[in-house]
């Protein structure tokens, strides 16, 4: 076959793939149209049993199957000039469609909107819990800043509705200052006396703005590494990303965008792009400037969500390798300085009477969510004075020290450390392999050696163990990236660090997996692609909680959320871990063959 015939055949194949891609995009758009229509039944007021969770879950499963087919076609489409416009057009239109949908089983966005209102009225959102504002009256003698919040609450019906919908209102906010800045901008750009739906759309628009920017940065990274531009679809059309950002409005899009941008700047600082291999490398001075810019952006990402700090060792060690100790010290110093600056408001709030809201004053949780309850402890049931700011960081401390959701590896560890003497038989995990005497002995001894209660010890010990495992894995990924000294290994190290951090968390919320999605093109094991779909099984927990609260599920001793925790999570992660291990073993065997 002549070169002309080969080019003609390739062009025909690329046009065919582009046509299939457009067809997939239309199918996805239709699926999301159905989801938007069903989302109206997820409004705040209707009881959970009326919500079409199963129907929506099936639609997202169908969307994920179409997405995988579209990804395969997009990668095979080569560098067709119309490929990026098609991906970008559908990515934007699908987000625009979901922007006007009701958040499905998520209420975090109401906290964002209230935090923005607090900041806009000149009060730190870290100072008072929403419940304190709800329980205060304009007729009372209040502290000036609390009075400002009460004024904000009463300034419009929408603000009062937002405040009443904040989840776990007895706790102060846990969201870092960079995200708080975006919340404030959303509040400032929302017309005064707007309806609640307008507040929602404006806030989600800011979230989607960062989401779309991530697509652009990913395209730059793909160009730098000479990967097919079709790989941008792995993030741009991902159903999980669309659900969690355009529909639910999770703030993680801010940190994801900044982290992805920081990684691109690291590439510019430390590596030559594939099409520049024969060119002269950047000067050390130019690389240093890019390195400093990367450290600043990564620090801002830490100020948006905290998790990007796990990438800082990779940034600093690669800086040492590429720039030398003196310049790497400057990069590290800038990162530490900016990180401290943007996070300082979280730890600088002066507290006069550090106490949590009274458990007796807690409003009942609405049926929008079946999140894990906050344990009743001596410290969490003190009464609170309306003028007293909340203990600073109580919300974050509670989240880090007690929260569990959709976990698998952490669940295996923690349940094998938790005594079960007082746990009903119907709530005992089936996968316990440790003896009751051993668990009780460990908990008793550690409680005596520390200031923790016996109820807190299993969680704290499990967090310590999984943290050590993560540090070992992250160190290995970092060492391998430095040893290989290649851009692809560096990006794979970024992905694996984020991925295993998520897998070892006690709170494996599905939107946390979006942290790793932009770097999926750089993993060599395609099993990772499946997680973006599997983690959506998390939403079945709500359906089980609504429809099977008491009687056990057939053939088990578990009902509702316990069935999810002890059975469904095994279906969600168990086969996938087997697939991952088998893929890794097969590659190792083939490599050494």
Tens-digit pLDDT profile for residues 184-238: 999 999 998 899 999 999 999 999 999 999 999 999 999 999 999 999 999 999 9
Does residue 240 sit in the same domain as residue 277? no
Looking at residue 17, its pLDDT comes to: 85
Does residue 231 sit in the same domain as residue 314? no
Coil, strand or helix at 272: coil
Looking at residue 7, its pLDDT comes to: 66
- Copy the structure tokens of residue 580: 């991952």
Q: Which among 247, 275, 300 is the end of a domain?
A: 247
Looking at residue 456, its pLDDT comes to: 87
Instruction: Quote the mean pLDDT of the chain.
Output: 86
Residue 168 lies in a domain: no
Coil, strand or helix at 372: coil
Q: How far apart are CA 363 and CA 134, in angstroms?
A: 10
| Helix (H), strand (E), coil (C) string for 81-136 | CCHHHHHHHHHHHHHHHHHCCCCCCCCHHHHHHHHHHHHHCCCCCCCCCHHHHHCC
DSSP state of 565: I
Which ranges of 135-237 does DSSP label H, i.e. alpha helix? Answer: 144-154, 157-164, 177-188, 196-225, 233-236
DSSP 248-264: T--THHHHHHHHHHHHH
In sequence order, what are the beta bridge partners of 405?
Answer: 507
Does residue 433 sit in the same domain as residue 327? no
pLDDT tens digits, one per residue of 482-521: 998 899 999 999 999 999 999 999 999 999 999 999 999 9
Domain total for the chain?
A: 3
Nearest to 495, CA basis, from 218, 215, 176, 91:
218
Q: Which among 349, 371, 395 is the end of a domain?
A: 349
In sequence order, what are the beta bridge partners of 541?
Answer: none
Does residue 342 sit in the same domain as residue 483? no
Does residue 260 sit in the same domain as residue 232? no
Residue 359 lies in a domain: no
Does residue 324 sit in the same domain as residue 436? no
Q: Which among 282, 314, 349 is the end of a domain?
A: 349
Residue 31 lies in a domain: yes
Does residue 415 sit in the same domain as residue 492? yes
Looking at residue 267, its pLDDT comes to: 94
Q: How far apart are CA 414 and CA 396, in angstroms?
A: 20
Does residue 311 sit in the same domain as residue 426? no
130 Cβ contact list (under 8 Å, min separation 6)? 111, 114, 163, 166, 169
**pTM score, two decimals?**
0.89
Instruction: Using 50 as the pLDDT threshold, list the residues of the chain that sit under it.
Output: 275, 277-281, 350-385
Residue 486 lies in a domain: yes
Does residue 59 sit in the same domain as residue 71? yes
Does residue 329 sit in the same domain as residue 476? no
Residue 277 lies in a domain: yes
Residues 426 and 434 sit within 8 Å (Cβ to Cβ): no
DSSP state of 568: I
Does residue 560 sit in the same domain as residue 592? yes
**How many degrees, rounded to 5, is the angle at CA 410 between CA 568 and CA 177?**
105
Looking at residue 184, its pLDDT comes to: 96
Looking at residue 425, its pLDDT comes to: 75
Residue 117 lies in a domain: no
Q: Residue 527 belongs to what domain range? A: 407-506+516-593
Looking at residue 379, its pLDDT comes to: 39
Residue 180 lies in a domain: no
Catalogue the E-assigned strands of 426-528.
none
Residue 311 lies in a domain: yes
Does residue 438 sit in the same domain as residue 495? yes
């Amino acid at each position: 076959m002549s070169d002309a015939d080969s080019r003609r055949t390739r062009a025909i194949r690329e046009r065919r793939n582009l046509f299939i891609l457009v067809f997939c995009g239309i199918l996805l758009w239709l699926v999301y149209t159905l989801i938007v229509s069903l989302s109206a039944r997820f409004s705040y007021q209707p009881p959970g049993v009326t919500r079409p969770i199963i129907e929506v879950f099936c639609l997202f499963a169908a969307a994920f199957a179409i997405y995988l087919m579209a990804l395969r076609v997009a990668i095979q489409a080569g560098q067709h000039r119309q490929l990026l416009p098609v991906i970008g057009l559908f990515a934007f239109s699908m987000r625009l469609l979901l922007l006007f949908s009701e958040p499905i089983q998520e209420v975090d966005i109401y906290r964002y909107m209230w935090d923005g209102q607090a900041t806009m009225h000149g009060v730190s959102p870290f100072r008072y819990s929403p419940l304190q504002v709800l329980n205060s009256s304009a007729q009372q003698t209040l502290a000036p800043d609390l009075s400002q919040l009460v004024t904000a609450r009463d300034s419009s019906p929408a603000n009062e509705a937002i405040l009443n919908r904040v989840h776990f209102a007895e706790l102060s906010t846990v969201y870092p200052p960079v995200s708080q800045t975006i919340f404030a901008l959303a509040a400032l750009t929302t017309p005064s006396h707007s309806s609640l739906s307008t507040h929602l759309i404006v806030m989600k628009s800011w979230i989607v703005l960062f989401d779309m920017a991530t697509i652009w940065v990913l395209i730059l990274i793909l160009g730098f590494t000479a990967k097919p531009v079709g790989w941008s679809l792995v993030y741009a059309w991902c159903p999980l990303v669309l659900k969690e950002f355009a529909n639910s409005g999770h703030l993680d899009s801010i940190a994801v965008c900044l982290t992805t941008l920081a990684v691109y700047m690291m590439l510019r600082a430390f590596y030559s792009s594939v099409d520049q291999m024969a060119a002269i490398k950047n000067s050390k001075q130019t690389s240093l400037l890019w390195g400093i810019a990367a450290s600043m952006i990564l620090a801002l990402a830490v100020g948006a969500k905290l998790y990007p700090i796990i990438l800082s060792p990779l940034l600093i060690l690669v800086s040492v390798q590429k720039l030398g100790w003196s310049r790497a010290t400057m990069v590290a110093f800038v990162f530490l300085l900016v990180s401290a600056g943007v996070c300082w408001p979280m730890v600088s709030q002066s507290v006069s009477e550090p106490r949590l809201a009274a458990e007796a004053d807690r409003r009942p949780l609405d049926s929008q969510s079946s999140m894990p309850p906050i344990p009743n402890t001596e410290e969490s049931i003190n009464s609170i004075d309306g003028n007293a700011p909340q203990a600073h960081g109580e919300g974050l401390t509670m989240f880090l020290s007690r929260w569990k959701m959709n976990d698998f590896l952490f669940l295996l560890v923690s349940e094998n450390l938790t005594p079960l003497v007082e746990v009903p038989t119907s709530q005992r995990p089936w996968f316990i392999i440790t003896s009751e005497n051993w668990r009780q002995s460990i908990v008793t001894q550690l409680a005596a050696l520390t200031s923790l209660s016996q109820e807190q010890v299993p969680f704290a010990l499990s967090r310590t163990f999984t943290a050590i495992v993560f540090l070992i894995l992250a160190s290995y990924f970092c060492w391998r990236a430095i040893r290989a000294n290649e851009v692809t290994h560096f990006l794979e190290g970024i992905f694996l660090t984020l991925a295993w951090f998520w897998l070892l968390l006690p709170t494996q919320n599905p939107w946390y997996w979006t942290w790793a999605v932009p770097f999926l093109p750089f993993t060599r094991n395609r099993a990772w692609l499946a997680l973006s779909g599997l983690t959506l099984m998390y939403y079945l927990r709500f359906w089980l909680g609504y429809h099977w609260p008491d009687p056990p599920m057939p053939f088990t001793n578990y009902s509702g959320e316990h069935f999810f925790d002890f059975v469904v999570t095994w279906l969600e992660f168990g086969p996938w871990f087997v697939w991952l291990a088998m893929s890794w073993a097969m590659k190792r065997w083939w490599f050494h063959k």
